Structure 1
Amino acid sequence: MNLSSKSDTELFRALQSGNHKALGVLYDRYGTVVYRLALRILGNPAEAEDLTQDIFVSFWRKNNYDPDRGSVSVFLMTLTRSRAIDRIRKSRTKQKFLQKLGRGDSLFSPGNLMEQVSLSEVAKLVRSALQQLPENQRQVLEMAYYDGMSQSEINRALNIPLGTVKTRARQGLIKLRHILKDLVE
């Protein structure tokens, strides 16, 4: 069976049936386009290569493409754009946090309780506070802050609506703020 002459839908069905060579054919067809879009958005060749690999691994493992809803190429482009934007957001969040650390803003400013407590003790306090949250709120916050997952990724991983993820995160953060009020005031 010559896979390269098959349609995208036929290749997808072959991949679902366990024919891993079909992924190679799809990669040959769309790998360059996915990479170029990732590179255009991310502006970094290494990041674009990494994202391209992630896109195809996700396409293969998650099996969330529906041929009735559109073409493979549109699905891959949409997935690439979404994941690239998520990576940029994560990167900006990390940069802002590091800038705050470097300037001594926020929790690390002089005269704050942080001067009196070591970072490891603070980490223990936060962990302890997290344990006081309901399981569903704690899970969402841990996935977001410890695993670095976006709300969309959490939504897919837990198979719950995005609005539920946002609500649990917000409620959890409000409760954490109340529990840790001595640290954040």
Structure 2
Amino acid sequence: MSRLLHVDDEDLLTLFQQGDACAYKAIYDKYWALLYRHARKMLQNDDEAKDVVQEVFTMFWAKAKDLAIKTPLAAFLYTSTRNRILDQVKHSKVKARYMASLKVEMAIEAAAPDSLVRERDLARRIEAEIQSLPPKMRAVFELSRKEHKTYKEISDYLNISDKTVKKQVNNALHILRTKLTSFLMFF
């Protein structure tokens, strides 16, 4: 190792690419702290900075023989570190967007069973209130709202005037609104 202390970067890179592990160690020792400070400054996080530098050196080790470095070694390592940081930041943003959408989805799914229960309760309550209407009014209302018959069809079917049908439906709606208002406020 001491034999490589005064070897320049270009020769260290050549030795490393020829399989000299001591050359890799010399490069690592020379640049790790510099790259870490650079990554730490960009990321504002010690652990993430260490991880990025480690990933750069891991890539550097794994692809040693395939790398065709045309820039100075320091520039290559700084650029690799910066690119890895940018990838990480981009990934973090994607992850944050995914997590936000997942939280929204989970909130919707969590609310769904509760809202189904409330809807069923409301439907039962409405049906109970309809059943408590006076018989003639209930018959007119159910023909209008449940069977979707027109006022004319209801008047012909029940042998009453159109005005009576309209009045009965309006009265039924008024009674239902009054009785269900407090229940609906709860929802």
For Structure 1 versus Structure 2, the TM-score category normalised by the shorter chain is 0.5 to 0.7
Matched, 1:52 2:32: no
Pairs within 5 Å for 1:9-48: 9-48=10-49
The aligned amino acid for 2:79 is T
Which residue in 1 is equivalent to 2:93? 92
Unaligned runs of 5+ in 1: 112-185
Runs of 4+ in 1 over 2 A off after TM superposition: 63-67, 107-111
Equivalent position SS for 1:70: coil
For normalisation by structure 2, the TM-score amounts to: 0.53
Report if aligned partners of 1:41, 1:85 keep a CA contact under 8 Å in 2.
Answer: no
* Counterpart Cα distance in 1 of 2:61 and 2:11: 14
The aligned amino acid for 2:103 is G
Which residue in 1 is equivalent to 2:71? 70
Give CA-to-partner distance per residue, 1:92-141, whole Å, 9 cap, x none: 11111111111228x97988xxxxxxxxxxxxxxxxxxxxxxxxxxxxxx
* Counterpart Cα distance in 2 of 1:94 and 1:23: 34
The aligned amino acid for 2:68 is D
* Counterpart Cα distance in 1 of 2:41 and 2:104: 32
Report if aligned partners of 1:38, 1:51 keep a CA contact under 8 Å in 2.
Answer: yes
Give CA-to-partner distance per residue, 1:123-177, whole Å, 9 cap, x none: xxxxxxxxxxxxxxxxxxxxxxxxxxxxxxxxxxxxxxxxxxxxxxxxxxxxxxx
Post-superposition shift, 1:66?
3.2
For normalisation by structure 1, the TM-score amounts to: 0.53
Once the two structures are aligned, what percentage of the paired residues are identical? 29
Report if aligned partners of 1:35, 1:52 keep a CA contact under 8 Å in 2.
Answer: yes
* Counterpart Cα distance in 1 of 2:43 and 2:6: 33
* Counterpart Cα distance in 2 of 1:108 and 1:36: 44
* Counterpart Cα distance in 1 of 2:67 and 2:44: 27
The aligned amino acid for 2:14 is R
Post-superposition shift, 1:65?
3.9
Larger Rg: 2
* Counterpart Cα distance in 2 of 1:60 and 1:20: 9
Pairs within 5 Å for 1:103-114: 103-104=104-105
* Counterpart Cα distance in 2 of 1:37 and 1:45: 11
Post-superposition shift, 1:71?
0.4
Report if aligned partners of 1:65, 1:75 keep a CA contact under 8 Å in 2.
Answer: no
Which residue in 1 is equivalent to 2:158? none
* Counterpart Cα distance in 1 of 2:8 and 2:110: 60
* Counterpart Cα distance in 2 of 1:41 and 1:87: 11
Equivalent position SS for 1:38: helix
Equivalent position SS for 2:5: helix
Count of paired positions: 110
* Counterpart Cα distance in 2 of 1:101 and 1:9: 49
